Chain A
Amino acid sequence: MAKVNVVINGRPISVAAGSSVAAALALAGVTATRRSITGAARAPVCGIGVCYECRVTINGQAHRLSCQVACAEGMQVVTDAAL
Chain B
Amino acid sequence: MQRFEIVVVGAGPAGIAAAVSAAESGAQVCVLDAGAAPGGQIWRGGAERHSRTAARWATRLRQGQQISVQQNTQVVAPLAAGELLVERPDGPQSIGYDRLILATGARELLLPFPGWTLPGVTGVGGLQALIKGGVPIKGRRVVVAGSGPLLLAVAAGLRRSGAEVRLIAEQSDWARLLAFGAQLPLDPARLLQALRLRATLGRTAYRAGCWVEQAHGAEQLEAVTLRHGAQRWREPCEQLACGFGLVPNSELAATLGCAINAGAVVVDYAQQTSVSGILAAGEVAGIAGVEAALAEGAIAGYIAAGRPAQAQPLLARRAAARRFARRLEHTFALRAELRQLASAQTIVCRCEDVHYAALAEHPSWRSAKIHTRCGMGPCQGRICGAATSVLFGWTPESIRPPVAPVALATLITTSSAHSINLEEHV
Task: Provide the B46-78 mask, 1 if CB < 8 A to any CB of A, else 0.
Answer: 000000000000000000000000000000000
Q: Are B130 and A22 in contact (CB under 8 A)?
A: yes
Which among A18, A24, A41, A70 is the interface contact of B119 at CB below 8 angstroms?
A: A41
A47 touches B219 (CB 8 A): no
Assembled-state Cα–Cα distance A83/B281 (Å): 44
The reply to whether B379 and A52 form a contact with Cβ atoms under 8 Å apart is: yes
> Provided the pairs A31-B120, A31-B219 are in contact, do residues A50 and B383 lie with their beta carbons within 8 angstroms?
yes
Contact B136 A51 (CB under 8 A): no
Count chain B residues whose beta carbon lies closer than 8 angstroms to a beta carbon of A.
38
Beta-carbon contact of A48 and B136 below 8 Å: no
Alpha-carbon gap, A46 to B116, bound state (A): 12
Question: Which B residues touch A53, using CB under 8 A?
Answer: 350
Q: Nearest CB to that of B130 among chain A residues?
A: A47
Answer yes or no: A13 CB below 8 A from chain B CBs: no
Q: Does B200 contact A (CB under 8 A)?
A: no
Contact (A40, B117) CB under 8 Å given A47-B128, A63-B378: yes
A22 to B352, CA, bound (A): 22
| B149 is an interface residue with CB less than 8 A from chain A | no
* Distance in Å: Cβ of A44 to nearest Cβ of chain B: 6
Asked if A75 is at the interface of the complex by the 8 Å CB criterion, the answer is no
Any B CB within 8 A of the CB of A82: no
Do A26 and B135 have beta carbons less than 8 Å apart? yes
Instruction: Determine the main DSSP class of A at the interface with B.
Output: loop
| Cβ-defined contact, B135 with A38, below 8 A | no
Asked whether A48 and B378 contact (CB < 8 A) given A22-B130, A38-B353, A43-B120, the answer is: no
A43 CA / B53 CA spacing, docked (Å): 34
Chain B positions 335 through 377: 1 when the CB is less than 8 Å from some CB of chain A, otherwise 0: 0000000000001001111000000000000000000000001
| CB-defined A-B contacts under 8 Å, sample of 25 | A16-B134, A19-B134, A20-B133, A20-B135, A22-B130, A23-B133, A23-B135, A24-B134, A26-B135, A27-B134, A31-B120, A31-B219, A37-B352, A41-B219, A41-B220, A45-B122, A45-B126, A45-B350, A47-B123, A47-B133, A50-B379, A51-B110, A51-B379, A51-B383, A70-B36
Q: Residues of A at under 8 Å CB distance from B?
A: 15-16, 18-20, 22-24, 26-27, 31-32, 36-38, 40-53, 55, 63, 67-68, 70
Residues of B within 8 A of A (CB): 34-36, 41, 107-108, 110, 117-123, 125-130, 133-136, 219-220, 249, 347, 350-353, 377-379, 382-383, 405
